[in-house]
Chains A and B, each alone.
Chain A
Amino acid sequence: MYRETEILQEPDPALEGAGDMVINVGPQHPSTHGVLHLVITLNGETIKKVEPHLGYIHRSIEKMCESLSFRQFIYSTSRMDYLSSHINNHGCCLCVEKGLQVEIPARAQTIRVLMDELTRIASHVLWWGAMAMDVGALTPFFHAFREREMINDIMEETCGARLTMNYMVPGGVMFDLHPNFIRRVKEFIVHFRSKLPEYDELVTNNIIFQNRTRGVGRISREDAISFGCTGPTARGSGISCDIRKIYPYELYQKLQFEEIIEHGTDCYSRYMVRIKELHQSLSIIEQLIDNIPEGEFQAKTKAVLKLPKGEFYSRVETARGEFGVYIVSEGGTTPYRIKFRSPGFSNLSALDHMCRGQKIGDMIAIMGSLDLVIPDIDR
């Protein structure tokens, strides 16, 4: 179970040193975001090599989806990246709708985008609390959960669940909005806008936090592209890769929002990208909340869906990066092969590159800034 890292078997002369120590971080550790087992080779406190061992939450979802129908497999993606569960479901629905060639009514599109942006805020807020906790501050964790509870309550009234909301269906959404939805979202916007300066005061402008994250975990633009990083991890290194801007889906072409790009390439830039994305998500919600069109919330589709023979790929921007769904269909009621391109898988492969030469305390800050959700990686 605890595989020896390759360093011990064949000593690499470039990495050999008298004081080399191999330690395990995880799989059960308070600072890993899920079950991640890292085997770190250290010289004193300086990291020489980080090797992630994955698979501690590999639930064989891709194999399981080959026996589920096209309506059923969508909800297994809620459990993969559970913090962006709406956005994952949205990606699956887009792929199925691409195959069925069905058009989504305007009301359903608006509801979907609203739910996506609320989920993005909830995910970023929890990331903020968890990253502050990793770095050592315990208070922001409770602040983060207070905001998250407000969003969870709004979701629960409409969708029925707090975390794994099975709300998106191919064709639209499952239920119509609750009558209280608009009022509660407006209250949330007012409340959240007043809290964002508080977050800045508490963590962003905190001298200890800045010392721990500035200059730490640099990855250059070319390396980030080569490693396949997406999302805020790549945008912190200056790459323009927001799927909502480049390959827009649903209503994003008509909305006014900016793509946040920072050029610092370190942990602090990735942090600032996510904080500024919170502002952008709030502005998207404000643009939409007063203009929800009337109409159907679900396009008419057959009860048993059959995709035509072929291959379909669709991508969405989750809170962590690009989530891709690749369906190979043979014309039946179940998919022949599904591949989920998860953002964390590629972001994690850059961890070794970012951590070389840093101290072990920096590695915790780097992992926090990558915003990893391990079930998303292991699928």
Chain B
Amino acid sequence: MDNSSTIQKPFPGQVHPTAGGGVLISKLDDVINWARSNSLWPLVFGTSCCAIEMMSTAGAKYDWSRFGFEVARATPRQADVIIIAGTIVNKMAPVLKRLYDQMADPKYVIAMGACATSGGPFFYNTYSVVKGADHVIPVDVYVAGCPPRPEALLHALITLQEKIKSGGKRERIDIDGNKLGKAD
């Protein structure tokens, strides 16, 4: 477990060998973050083309369940991370906000694709597109691409895992959109 030659970040903590095995000493925060980051359950939320690349990432070639994202839940009550795959339009924005509010803390958001990051190819001369999902909910990780390759989405998921493990904080908003203060 204390193997510094592997690529994976090791389990946080130090092993002290004692008679009859070993003792693992760690901080509770680190252990909780490690557990959370390795079992993020995504919400099934794909609006347009990026949803197909998200499904490809869930497929057998670029498997995301290697990283713990096995169980994609349909209901926001049981999901940890919402991957906004696709364009958000004015009619869909309240739905997205409602889904986000229904998720339980700690929750994370990945904005996948150019449309969710900033409006994408629909930025100019459209009357109905929200120019970026972060006008609606706070976003943790942005992925560029139209659509991003499955490897790019996997990189974003791993980046999110690193962010959680390092204890990165992000602002919280309440149900009316008021900022509350940093949370993990």
- Complex: how many Å from CA A111 to CA B75? 44
- Residues of chain B within 8 A (CB-CB) of A178 are none
Nearest chain B CB to A256 CB, angstrom units: 32
A27 near B59: Cβ-Cβ < 8 Å = no
- Residues of chain B within 8 A (CB-CB) of A60 are 122, 126-129
B53 near A57: Cβ-Cβ < 8 Å = no
Nearest chain B CB to A60 CB, angstrom units: 4
Interface size on B, residues (CB 8 A): 34
Is B45 interfacial (CB 8 A cutoff)? yes
Is B181 interfacial (CB 8 A cutoff)? no
Is A29 interfacial (CB 8 A cutoff)? yes
- Residues of chain A within 8 A (CB-CB) of B56 are 145, 148-149, 152, 162
Is A142 interfacial (CB 8 A cutoff)? yes
Is A357 interfacial (CB 8 A cutoff)? no
- Residues of chain B within 8 A (CB-CB) of A59 are 87, 89, 122, 126, 128-129
Is A375 interfacial (CB 8 A cutoff)? yes
Bitwise, A19-38 to B at CB < 8 A (1) or not (0) is 00000000111100011000
B91 near A162: Cβ-Cβ < 8 Å = no
B48 near A34: Cβ-Cβ < 8 Å = yes
- Residues of chain A within 8 A (CB-CB) of B95 are 1, 27-28, 56
Is B31 interfacial (CB 8 A cutoff)? no
Interface positions, chain A 114-151, Cβ under 8 Å from B, are 126, 141-142, 145-146, 148-149
Is B86 interfacial (CB 8 A cutoff)? yes
- Complex: how many Å from CA A79 to CA B91? 19
Is B121 interfacial (CB 8 A cutoff)? yes
Bitwise, B20-57 to A at CB < 8 A (1) or not (0) is 00000000000000000000000011111101110110
- Complex: how many Å from CA A326 to CA B164? 50
Indicate which residue in B44, B48, B91, B149 contacts A28 across the interface (CB closer than 8 Å). Answer: B44
Name the CB-closest residue of A to B74: A30
Is B94 interfacial (CB 8 A cutoff)? yes
B47 near A57: Cβ-Cβ < 8 Å = yes
Nearest chain A CB to B174 CB, angstrom units: 20
Interface positions, chain A 161-212, Cβ under 8 Å from B, are 162-164
B49 near A58: Cβ-Cβ < 8 Å = no
A163 near B126: Cβ-Cβ < 8 Å = no
- Residues of chain A within 8 A (CB-CB) of B89 are 55-59
B61 near A146: Cβ-Cβ < 8 Å = yes
Is B60 interfacial (CB 8 A cutoff)? yes
Nearest chain B CB to A58 CB, angstrom units: 5
Bitwise, B47-80 to A at CB < 8 A (1) or not (0) is 1110111011001110000000000001000000
Interface positions, chain A 289-342, Cβ under 8 Å from B, are none
- Complex: how many Å from CA A186 to CA B130? 44
Is B125 interfacial (CB 8 A cutoff)? yes
A79 near B121: Cβ-Cβ < 8 Å = yes
Is B146 interfacial (CB 8 A cutoff)? yes
Is B92 interfacial (CB 8 A cutoff)? yes
Is B12 interfacial (CB 8 A cutoff)? no
Is B99 interfacial (CB 8 A cutoff)? yes
Nearest chain A CB to B85 CB, angstrom units: 11
A142 near B146: Cβ-Cβ < 8 Å = no
Nearest chain B CB to A125 CB, angstrom units: 12
Given contacts A57-B47, A57-B86, A57-B89, contact A163 B127 (CB under 8 A): no
B-side residues, CB < 8 A to A, are: 44-49, 51-53, 55-56, 59-61, 74, 86-87, 89, 91-92, 94-95, 99, 121-122, 124-129, 146-147, 149
* 28 A-B contact pairs sorted by A residue (CB < 8 Å): A28-B44, A28-B99, A30-B74, A34-B51, A35-B47, A55-B91, A57-B86, A58-B91, A59-B87, A59-B126, A59-B128, A59-B129, A60-B122, A60-B126, A60-B127, A66-B125, A141-B59, A142-B59, A142-B60, A145-B55, A145-B56, A145-B59, A148-B56, A149-B61, A162-B56, A163-B49, A163-B53, A164-B147
Beyond known contacts A83-B52, A145-B61, A375-B47: 12 more, CB 8 A cutoff: A34-B48, A55-B91, A60-B127, A64-B125, A64-B126, A145-B59, A146-B60, A152-B56, A162-B149, A163-B53, A164-B49, A164-B146
Nearest first, the 8 A-B pairs at minimum CB distance are: A145-B59, A82-B49, A60-B126, A30-B74, A56-B92, A375-B48, A67-B125, A149-B61
